Amino acid sequence: MKAIMIIGYGSSMPYAADTVRKQAERLAARRGERVYTAFHRADEPLIADAMRKAAEDGVDELLVIPYFIADGTITKEYLPREIGLEGYGDGVAEVEGRRISVRFGRAVGSDPGVADVVLRTIEANGGDAEKTGILIVGHGSEDRSNSEAVESVATAVASKGYKVFVGYNEFCGPTIEESFHKALEVSEDRVIVVPMFIACGLHLKEEIPQKIGLRKNSRGGIIHRNGKAVEIRYASAVGEDPYMADVMAAEAERVFGR
């Protein structure tokens, strides 16, 4: 039996796990395979428990999709080990005496299809390539994995004619504040802020709004700068977008066919 497993990082707060489970429901509705969810830490089921359940259900072919923005130490080292693989990449996991052929997918945020999701978000928020500044926000990482994923999407969006800037919440630069000011300078009507995050947690609800001059939990507002009023539209986390299920469905089709 073929199946799919979406793996999230896990958190003591419910929003991240809720996002993964909701996307699993959407993916299951688009595909015929059973879709399992699992977590690296904090949430249940943990990966080992989800693998045991898959073995009990008779799964012998499994596509694993890390629901992360980028591939880093966790996806390349910890997740394969917790799945039962000897290393990063495709392999065979022996679980409860059953051999499961595992196709190990890339982090969902690194999929080229995510650029289309971001473009849909920009269009839905009234983006105009001539008048609108675009700020794509990443968490940032010391090993560049997060920033590489964010910059790849930014390059794809810029290729459509948009004025795109990238800013990071921590670990690397440019900062959100620096890039937001640049987006304001080129904007004639509005700045659309798109967070390349998995879910709307504290970073997105409290820290980032304040860095761009909005109140906590705000979805946007008007900022007066250099004699002009600029509308700020603050989108939800990319990982929460329903179209991310289409990105995963395309990956499943590539691996399993229709």
d(CA 38, CA 24): 10
| Catalytic site includes residue 203 | no
d(CA 127, CA 244): 20
Count CB atoms within 10 A of the CB of residue 18.
Answer: 15
Look at the alpha carbons of 134, 136, 137, 140 in this order and tell me if their dihedral is positive or negative.
Answer: negative
Q: What is the DSSP string of 76-118?
A: IIIHHHHHT-SSSSSEEEEETTEEEEEEEPPPGGGSTTHHHHH
**CB contact at 8 A, 201 and 191:** no
The catalytic position among 139, 181, 203, 224 is: 139
Residues tagged active-site: 139
